[in-house]
Amino acid sequence: MLAAFLPRLPRGAHDDVGNGDDAAVLRIGDPRVVATVDTLVQDLDYRPVWPNGRVTRGHDVGFKGVAQNLSDLNAMAAYPIGLLVSLAMPADTPVDWVLSLADGIADAIHTLGAEGCSVAGGDLSGAREVVLTITALGRLDDAGPVLRSGARPGDEIAVIGRVGEAAAGLALLETAPESGSPPGAPAGAALFEELISAQLRPRPPLGAGAAAARAGAHALMDLSDGMLRDAERLARASGVRVDLDTARLAGFADRLAPAAALLGADPMHWCLAGGEDFGLLAAFTPGTVPAGFTAIGSVADGAAELLVDGRPSTTTGWDHFAA
């Protein structure tokens, strides 16, 4: 298995010793290394076959595992240099599915713009279900890191990347065909496929974290568990009051309206409470929000809390243990 799996994975410019020894050796100029780890678990983070009939390919799982890790590095204004991949799976997992997972890892590195990032090593083991754990390592330049704890009263809150699309895609995947098939119109079908892709193969805006740091961002974090939950985390970490303006999120919600109409859902709920978009939430001095970011709220003195349109919200985001 490893003889077929490993050649599919990229090597990078920072590799001194790659796969094949007991540990990898990476050359890093800056002594500071940014490290993060994420796990995807079968039947918790994805279904092998979704209620709408979609089959999850190994490629999807590999791609998403990389994307969610690189998103964390992006939120620290770091550049990815290496991955460590641990895969545990049942003995009867098809070889083609496993090799597809390796292809998904390589595709994510290329498609997301992380060229030069290698898969430096990892582990392979048995389990009752598929469990993919990836550790990502990154380097910093002089602008980083930017922490979630730096937002200041008077700052603007801004977002970059997709908002609510992964949640809309999840809702489509979880809907059985007889109760919610996408209409046959090409425009509708294309949009729904894009939303499903946002869930299965998310596209974090790599490079936006470093750009935000160069623009003087006071705080950064990625949007993995939903706008409300993550904005509240930023507020508490920074000791400030964050107020989100739903009128400024209307453009994101409008894009989701066809899927919401099909499923009888509220697109703004997807924008606020849906997770796994893997965009960035940032705090900037007013007038310094860089291109590509959309201002969606403000920061003020007061209790460390999150408000929506000036009022507390009872809606929350993704909870790994309540799923």
Per-residue pLDDT tens over the stretch 84-121: 999 999 999 999 999 999 999 999 999 999 988 999 88
Whether 277 has a binding-site annotation, put simply, is no
DSSP β-ladder status, 311-312 and 305-308: antiparallel
Q: What is the mean pLDDT of residues 144-167?
A: 95
Render pLDDT for 39-95 as a digit per residue (tens, 0 to 9). Answer: 999 999 999 999 999 999 999 999 999 999 999 999 999 899 999 999 999 999 999
Whether 22 has a binding-site annotation, put simply, is yes
Q: What gap in Å lies between CA 236 and CA 91, rounded to an integer?
A: 44
Whether 122 has a binding-site annotation, put simply, is yes
Whether 123 has a binding-site annotation, put simply, is yes
Render pLDDT for 253-295 as a digit per residue (tens, 0 to 9). Answer: 999 999 999 999 999 999 999 999 999 999 999 999 999 999 9
Whether 222 has a binding-site annotation, put simply, is yes
Superfamily for domain range 2-140: PurM-like, N-terminal domain (3.30.1330.10)
Whether 297 has a binding-site annotation, put simply, is no
Whether 270 has a binding-site annotation, put simply, is no
Whether 36 has a binding-site annotation, put simply, is yes
Whether 93 has a binding-site annotation, put simply, is no
Q: What gap in Å lies between CA 196 and CA 188, rounded to an integer?
A: 12
Whether 232 has a binding-site annotation, put simply, is no
Confidence of residue 319 (pLDDT cuts 50, 70, 90): low
**Domain boundaries in the chain?**
2-140, 156-312
Q: What is the CATH number of domain 156-312?
A: 3.90.650.10
Q: Please give the mean pLDDT across all residues of the chain.
A: 89
- Percentage of the chain exceeding pLDDT 70: 86
Render pLDDT for 232-254 as a digit per residue (tens, 0 to 9). Answer: 999 999 999 999 999 999 999 99
Whether 298 has a binding-site annotation, put simply, is no
Are the C-beta atoms of 80 and 70 separated by less than 8 Å?
A: yes
Q: Is the pTM of this model over 0.95?
A: no
Q: Do domains 2-140 and 156-312 have the same CATH topology?
A: no
